Amino acid sequence: MIKQTAIVTRTEHAVAFVKTIRESTCGQCGVQKGCGTSVFSKVLGNKFSELTVLNPISAETGDVVILGMQESVLVSSALLMYLFPLLMMFSGAASMIMISHRLNLDLGQLWTIASSFTWLLAAFLYIKKASKKHVGDKRFQPVILSKATLSEQKASLFPIEII
């Protein structure tokens, strides 16, 4: 289970609207000084994200809470969003190269590029269709696990009051 600290900004029925700080994992990495991601996180700073989450514990406005999400959901979503389009793009290029060699045609790089972008577009359309299926699925939504303890609140970088 992946956990994140958040602050509840408002509630409606069984859901809560929360703010979280987008965190970088650069503090845990040994190559901070030689990494571009570390530089970007320092320049851009901490930004807030607003989420709608399930609220089974009836948290109220102003509560600092712990959110949770299954790791498998996050990993499969990341694979679908990042790896699948790349694989489709490479497959499009490879298929055009194989077709041109099979038919002894010299189609040039423009056809290979066009094929790879066509397959990339197909991947994005598939992702859009697949993500619409999971809109109401509770497995793909973060949930409030508990209210944060005082030590978790201090470590969360949140001001105790809503600004």
- Residue found under tokens 């320049």: 43
Contact 51, 85 (CB under 8 A): no
Measured CA to CA, the distance from residue 12 to residue 55 in angstroms comes to 9
Q: Which range, 67-71, 117-121, 154-158, is most confident?
A: 117-121
Residue-wise pLDDT tens digits, 120-156: 999 999 999 988 887 777 777 788 888 877 666 556 5
Residue-wise pLDDT tens digits, 70-95: 888 888 888 889 999 999 999 999 99
**pTM value?**
0.61
- Position 119 pLDDT exceeds 60: yes
- Residue found under tokens 């994992």: 25
45 φ, ψ to 5°? 75, -175
Contact 65, 7 (CB under 8 A): yes
